Structure 1
Amino acid sequence: MKRRKLLGYAATGAATTAALAACSNNTGPAVQGDSLPTVRWKMATSWPTSLDTLYGAAEFIARRVRELTDGRFTIQTFAAGEIVPGLQVLDAIQQGTVECGHSASYYYIGKNPAFAFGTCVPFGLNTQQQMAWLYQGGGIDAMNKLYADFNTIAFPAGNSGVQMGGWFKKEVNTVADLNGLKMRIPGLGGEVLSRLGVNVQVLPGGEIFLALERGAIDAAEFVGPYDDEKLGLNDAADFYYYPGWWEPGSSFDLQINLNAWNQLPTEYQEIVKTAAAEANVQTLAKYDVQNPQALQRLLEGGTQLRAYSPEILQASQREAIALMEEMASQEPSFKEIYEPWKQFRDSIRQWHAVSEFAYSNFAIAPVLQSIQSP
C-alpha cells in the first residue's frame, strides 16, 4: 500500500475544511452593559477529557460564550462521569441537574428512535448534506420539536465527518462472519447490525478500550483515527475497517434545559447559538486535519486497513432501508421527520451526483487505486 501517497491526498481535503473554520476569529465581547445579568451554568458532556476534539468542542463553546459576554455568562464543563455517566447527559438536562450538555442525540434513541436523525442514520446524509438539512432544510426545527418533549432545546455543535467502520480482532469478509460478533456500536447502525446477527453493545467512549482489550467485545467503532488512537483502540485490535456507513456525517449537539434557555436574555441566546455554530465548523476542521495524520501513525504502527466487502455493505443497506421504513410505519414522530428528510436526501443527492460526487469520483480515483494496491 502506498501509504504516504494516500495520506497526502487526504490532507488536501483537510485544508479546504480548515479554510472554512477561519471564517470566525473575532474574540472581543459582543455585548456590553451593566443591565445584562451574570449567569453561571454547568455543562455535562458524553466525552472523557482525553478526547480533546469532542470535549474540546464543549470547552470551545464555554470560552466563546465567556468572551462574547465579557465574562458575564460562564459555563463550567464536566467530562463524562463527573456529574452523570456519558450516556445520561440528556437525562441530566431534562431534570435540571445541569443547564446544558454536549452529546450525540442518537445516544437517546431508546427514548425516541427519531433522535437518530440529529446525529446521523445509516447510509444517510454526509457532512455537507447534514449541515444543509439542519440549517436550511428544517432539521433544527424538526429536532427541537422532538427535544421539547424532554424539556430541552438543542443546536448543532460539532461534526466528525464520515467516520471509520470500526476495529475488529479478526477479519470480516461476509455477512456470516458478523453472526454472533459482540460489537460496540450505538444508534440505528447498531440496530442494523443486530439484524445481521451482531450482538450489539452500547458503551461510552471511555469504556471501549478495556472492553475490547479484555475480550468483552470482539469489535468496536467510535469516531475516526484521531479519537480512536486517543482511546488506544489500535492496541486492542488489528483490523481497521472503512467506511463507517452508519455514520456518514455525524453531528453533535449543544443540548440546553428549556427552562434555563427561556430565562436567558435574547442577547445571550444569540451568543449561545453563535458559539455552537462556530464549534460546529471548528470541530469538523480539526478532524479533517487530525485524522490523516493519525491514520498515518496507525498504519506505520501495524494497523491493517480493510474495506468492507460489497456483500456486507449491500446487506447492511438493505436492512437499514427496511428498518427505517418499519420505524416510520410504527412511530408517528419518526415518520414526521423521516418523510421530509427522505425527500431532502433524494433531492440533494441528485444535485450532488452532478456536482460534488462527479468531481470527487474523478479526483480521488488515484487514492482509491493506492488503497487497493498491495
Structure 2
Amino acid sequence: MNTPLSRRKLLKAASVAAPAAAATMIGSPVLAADKLHWKMVTSWPKGAPGVGTTAQRLADRITAMSNGKLNVKLYGAGELVPPLEVFGAVGEGVAELGHTASFFWQGKAKASVFFTTVPFGLTSGEHIAWVNQGGGQALWDKLYAPFNIKPFMAGNTGIQMGGWFKKEITSLKDLQGLKIRSAGLGGEIYKQMGATAILLPPGEIYSGLRSGVVDAAEFLGPWSDRAFGFYKAAPFYYWPTFNKPNGSAECLVNKAAFEALSPDLQAIVQNACEAENAYALSESDWENARALANLIDGEKAQIREFPSDIMAKAKALTPGILDKFVWGDPLAEEILSSYRQAMALSETWAKVGRQAFLNARDN
C-alpha cells in the first residue's frame, strides 16, 4: 500500500542526499532509508577461487561492518564493465568500488605496476611493509589522485608460480617465438628473451591456451590456476616465479564518493580492506599448498624447474627494464626509488631471518 510521505521525511531525505549528489555526478551514492548502496566491479569472474572470493568477502565485510549503512553489491568481470576497464569505471563513478590488480593500469598510470608486483621484487610480507610503513601508500595515493581514485591493498594471492606451458622448456632458446600470457613487467622480460607477451583477461586465459592464441600462461598460484583448469591445456607447470613474487590485489574507491562518507564509514572501508588483505594471504598460502599437492598427485601435472639460463637472463635484464620503464616520469622514478630502498632494507633481514631459517628447517 502506498503511504504519502510527510514534509519532515522529504526534508530529511533531501538534506542527506544533497551533499552526496554533489560529491560525484556519475555514480552518486544511492540513498534508501538512510542507507548507501554502492556497486563494486571486478576484473575476476564472480566466485573464482582466490581473487573472486576475496572480492565477494570484501563487499560482504563492508556491508556487515557498517550494519547495512553501506551496502555493497558485487558485479563480476563483464557483468557491468569489461574486466580491464575497472579502473576507468571507478574513477568516472560508474561504480564506487573496484577489485582488481594495479599492474593492469600501467598504460594509464605507469608506476601502478609497483603496487601489485615486479620481477625479482618484494615478497608479500615485504610489500605490505613498504606500503604500510615505508611510504608506499602515500605514493600510491598520489599516483591515483588525478584519476579520482583512492586505493587500498585488499587481498593477496602470495608468491606465484612461473606458469603453464604446452611444451617442456629446457633452455632459453625454447622461449624463441613462444606466445605467453603475461601481465606486468614480466611481459617485457619475456619479450627481450625472444617470446611474445599477450595480456588476456583472467576469464579468457583457458580458451586462449586451448585455441592456440597463447602457448603458455602465467596467472596466480596453484589454487586459482587449478580452478581455471589450465593444466588441461598446458601440462607443464614451472617454478620458481621471477615475475610475480607477490600478489597484492587492490580495492579502488571513487575518491569523491569516499570523501563524502562519514568518518565512521571511511574507517569501515579501510579496515575491511586491511582485514581482507591479511585473511586472503593466509588463505592463499594454505590453499596453494593443498592445490599443488592435488595437481601433482591427482591431476598428474608435470612440475618443472625453470632452466638456470632463463632465470639468470631474466634477473640480468630486470634492472635495466625497470630503469627504462620509469625514465622521464618523475613520479614513477620516485616510486621506483622508494621501492628499491625497501628492497635494500629487506634483503639483509630476509637473509638472516626467513631465508636462513627456511634453509635450516627444510634442508
Instruction: Verify same fold: TM over 0.5.
Output: yes
The structure 1 residue matched to 2:100, chosen from 100, 103, 126, is 103
Residue 348 (structure 1) aligns with: 346
Greater shift in the superposed pair: 74-83 or 106-115: 106-115
The Cα of 1:117 is off from its aligned counterpart by 0.7
Instruction: Kindly provide the amino acid, as one letter, of the partner of residue 203 in structure 2.
Output: G
1:123 counterpart SS class: coil
The structure 1 residue matched to 2:282, chosen from 281, 285, 288, is 285
Residue 361 (structure 1) aligns with: 359
Residue 77 (structure 1) aligns with: 74
Matches within 5 A, 1:1-374: 37-300=34-297, 301-365=299-363
Q: What are structure 1's unaligned runs of at least 5 residues?
A: 1-35, 366-374
Query: How far apart in 1 are the matches of 2:278 and 2:176?
Result: 38
Residue 4 (structure 1) aligns with: none
The Cα of 1:37 is off from its aligned counterpart by 4.4
The Cα of 1:328 is off from its aligned counterpart by 3.2
Query: How far apart in 1 are the matches of 2:360 and 2:250?
Result: 34
Moved over 6 A (4+): none
Q: What are structure 2's unaligned runs of at least 5 residues?
A: 1-32
TM-score of the pair, normalised by structure 1: 0.86
1:197 counterpart SS class: coil
Q: Deviations over 1:97-133 (max 9, x none)?
A: 1111000000111112200011011000001101100
Contact between 2:47 and 2:56, CA under 8 Å: does it hold in 1?
no
The Cα of 1:50 is off from its aligned counterpart by 4.2
Q: How many residues align?
A: 330
1:172 counterpart SS class: coil
The Cα of 1:309 is off from its aligned counterpart by 1.5
Contact between 1:50 and 1:230, CA under 8 Å: does it hold in 2?
no
> Relative contact order (C-alpha < 8 Å, sep 6+): which is higher?
1
2:41 counterpart SS class: strand
Residue 9 (structure 1) aligns with: none
Instruction: Kindly provide the amino acid, as one letter, of the partner of residue 210 in structure 1.
Output: S
Greater shift in the superposed pair: 349-358 or 71-80: 349-358
Query: How far apart in 2 are the matches of 1:39 and 1:52?
Result: 28
TM-score of the pair, normalised by structure 2: 0.89
Aligned identity (percent) is: 37
**In terms of Rg, which structure is larger?**
2
1:42 counterpart SS class: strand
